[in-house]
Amino acid sequence: MWRRNSKNCFLIGLFAAAFFAENAWGQSGVIPDVTISVGNAAASGNSEDAVSATLRLILLISAVSFLPAVVLTTTCFTRIAVVMGMTRTALGTQQLPPNTVITGLALFLTFSIMNPIFTKMYEEGAKPYLDNQMGGEEALEKTLAPLKGFLVRHAREKDLGLFLHITETEIPEDVKDVPMTVAVPAFVLSELNTAFQIGFLIALPFLVLDMVVSSVLTSMSMITLPPVVISL
């Protein structure tokens, strides 16, 4: 009986709370207006600054999304990663060092090697633009000039000529006139070619050593022994 009365009291209290809450919510209230502004553009009435800030933010987010592709195609990261991967294969260590270690080491070596180029790009193009001393198009051209010089300087003439022919572009008289659509793929192709040449030169002594060891083991009828016993 006591449990039934307690249950009834609980239900009555619940309905009463819902009734009073509904009456409270049903009272007339004033919903405050919400105004969203970007910086001080709304206060000063300068809408052009707000649009410019928004466009800068959009361009920055877009640039960050393309950052991995830029690092892979416009720096020496490709050469370092390929050479280290082929060296690991030549040593026969399977997954030692792991891919994470190789990628991290290649990334830090890339930033160390490319640091002078990045510094020059920032000082000649990005910094004047951020200080409102230069327009957007001029800043982009000044920023890409050191990078373009690096790409063309380390690309083979054969690869540059190939992509100039593919894109039907006239042979430029100056490095500054080489379009990025030609400089980037020519640089990547040259880097891959150089990386495989270096990797082959590193792997060649290990290949000769493997052939000598296999010949000795075959002549001694020890070819069936496990590699662990042979290494001991």
Half-sphere exposure of 74 (CA within 13 A, CB side): 20
Helices 157-166 and 180-219: crossing angle, nearest 10°? 130
Where does residue 168 fall: left (phi above 0), alpha (psi -120 to 50 degrees), or beta otherwise? Answer: left
**Residue 50 CB contacts under 8 Å (≥ 6 apart), including other chains:** 37, 38, 39, 41, 42
Closest CA to 175 of 201, 154, 204, 200: 154
* Rounded Cα distance, 194 and 174, in Å: 25
Note the pLDDT of residue 18. 46
Amino acid 20: pLDDT: 45
**Cβ distance 203 to 88 under 8 Å?**
no
Residues 79 and 195: beta-carbon distance below 8 Å: yes
Work out the number of other CB atoms within 10 angstroms of the CB of residue 199. 19
- Tens of pLDDT along the chain (232 residues) come to 444 455 455 545 544 444 444 444 444 444 445 454 544 544 444 555 555 667 777 777 777 777 777 778 888 888 888 888 888 888 877 777 888 888 888 888 888 888 888 888 888 777 777 777 777 777 777 878 888 888 888 888 888 888 888 887 777 777 777 888 888 888 888 988 988 998 888 888 888 887 887 777 777 777 677 766 666 5
